[in-house]
Amino acid sequence: MEIWVVVLGVLMVVGAIAVLFQRSLRNSIITFGIISLMSALIMAMMKAYDVAITEASIGAVLTTAIFFWSLKRVEEDGYDEKK
């Protein structure tokens, strides 16, 4: 139990660094959502259920959706990832 929290924490740090080194911004956004899910899992394991529910609904779902929409908007304005 306790060791799983540590493992998940280390995985979160690795994921946060992996966000920076992704090839495309879409992959970065998905990785970001996965980090949010892992942090929600950690909070549930540490019995902070209020924070876990908030993190799962806002951090994992809404933030990801808003990032995707803003990326779409920016691409409509002529931003190209490959440049």
Partner 1 sequence: MKRNNRLIINLFALVVVLLFGFISILAVTDGRSGLTMFSADLQHRVSYAFLLKSVSHPERASNATVEPGGRDYEDGAANVVTSVVVDYRMLDTFGEVLVLFAAAAGVGLLMTERKRVVEHDASIVVKTAVPLVMLFAIITGAYIVLHGHLTPGGGFPGGAIIASGFILQFLAFRESPKRLIFKILESLAGLGILAVGLVGLFVKGSLFANFIATGTLGATISAGTVLIIYLLIGIKVAAELASISGDFIGGEQRIGG
Q: Please report, as residue ranges, which positions from 31 to 70 form the binding site for partner 1 (by CB under 8 A).
A: 49-50, 52-54, 56-58, 61-62, 65-66, 69-70
DSSP state of 56: I
Distance CA 37, CA 12 (A): 10
Nearer to partner 1, 30 or 44 (CB): 44
- Specify whether the CB–CB gap between 40 and 60 falls below 8 A: yes
Does 76 participate in binding partner 1 (rule CB under 8 A)? yes
Nearest one of 23, 57, 50, 52 to 40, comparing CA atoms: 52
Interface with partner 1 (CB under 8 A) = 2-3, 5-6, 9-10, 13-14, 17, 21, 49-50, 52-54, 56-58, 61-62, 65-66, 69-70, 73, 76
